[in-house]
Amino acid sequence: MKTRSLGSTGLNVSALGLGCMGLSFGLGPAVDKQEGIALIRAAVEKGVTFFDTAEVYGPWMNEELVGEALAPFKGRVAIATKFGFAIDQVTGQNPGGLNSRPERIKAVAEASLKRLRVDALDLFYQHRVDPEVPIEDVAGAVKDLIREGKVKHFGLSEAGAATIRKAHAVQPVAALQSEYSLFWREPEVEIIPTLEELGIGFVPFSPLGKGFLTGKIDETTTFDPTDFRNVVPRFTPEARKANLALVDLLRGIAARKGVTPAQVALAWLLAQKPWIVPIPGTTKLHRLEENLGAAAVELTPEDLREIQAASEKVQLQGARYPEHLQKLVGR
């Protein structure tokens, strides 16, 4: 597995990481703990050195899983986690609000260090921008943690360009995490140019369009009642049926190259910028192997032009998020 640098702060990781959320939270029931550990360790053996989690995934359950799974590989892998939701630190209940006050950030860092079984957090993201706390104060709190040796790199998730600039002026931002794929290309308008200007890496989550770009989902697919996609407008049966035109495009290119639609979608992301590190998630070993195989797929300039031209003709249907969640994005 080749490596890439996230930003200019010295964070070098595998070209593809592993998003661990779905092992515990958000996309149906949690997997068996030992299965989750086995999957994460298989990823390490296959060259993955970058793992993504957050305190809110569970809450806490996913950090604990990742911490146990990666304990034998201390110093060989980088773990990213996140702060920012108003989780009750005793009960673990998540009422859905935000809290990025400096004292809260520092308390979350201490708790995450214990759950992840590490001496320092490799990458500590603000999960969502908190409108009640100036971003300069957030960046300052993380800067303190970096000085204390408890955090190595600062990240932002779903932040807008102005917020990124303000934070970066206080403490250099190593990476921004946001959704980006052929299924969601909004970051190309303002975010990617901002990151390139400032020397900040980009970590796309949902790089396979929450599974849609694998070609395994159509308008007849049903999701578990606990699956987040049930409330996503882009995943209504009508929207899925309309959006299959994009999957058909990927299928054609994949067939010609002898690979899968998912591999084409990930290879396309890797081809956009050398400082982009997608973090596809999965609960299945064969999907992990398929995703990692994308790092070896070479898309020619002609391939990329074909994808661009064909995708421009596809009018994707449905909003990315329901309105109450979209309000937390890009501020």
Would you say residue 25 lies in a domain?
yes
Give tens-digit pLDDT for 127-183.
999 999 999 999 999 999 999 999 999 999 999 999 999 999 999 999 999 999 999
39-48, 86-95, 192-201, 233-242: least confidently modelled range: 86-95
| Residue 27 belongs to domain spanning | 3-326
Give tens-digit pLDDT for 252-268.
999 999 999 999 999 99
| Single-letter amino acid, residue 227 | D
| Residues labelled catalytic | 57
C-alpha 220/C-alpha 79 separation (Å) is 36
Would you say residue 23 lies in a domain?
yes
CATH number of the domain that residue 128 is part of: 3.20.20.100
Q: What is the pLDDT of residue 331?
A: 82
Give tens-digit pLDDT for 176-232.
999 999 999 999 999 999 999 999 999 999 999 999 999 999 999 999 999 999 999
Would you say residue 123 lies in a domain?
yes
Q: What is the pLDDT of residue 189?
A: 97
Q: What confidence category does residue 279 fall into, taking pLDDT thresholds of 50, 70 and 90?
A: very high
Q: Residue 278 gets which letter from DSSP?
A: -
Q: What is the pLDDT of residue 187?
A: 98
Chain centre distance of CA 189: 19
Would you say residue 13 lies in a domain?
yes
Q: What confidence category does residue 330 fall into, taking pLDDT thresholds of 50, 70 and 90?
A: confident
Instruction: Count how many domains the chain has.
Output: 1
Would you say residue 331 lies in a domain?
no
Would you say residue 252 lies in a domain?
yes
How is 148-173 classified by DSSP, letter by letter?
TTSBS-EEEES--HHHHHHHHHHS-E
Would you say residue 138 lies in a domain?
yes
Would you say residue 102 lies in a domain?
yes
Rg (CA), the chain: 19
Q: What is the pLDDT of residue 89?
A: 85
pTM above 0.95, yes or no: yes
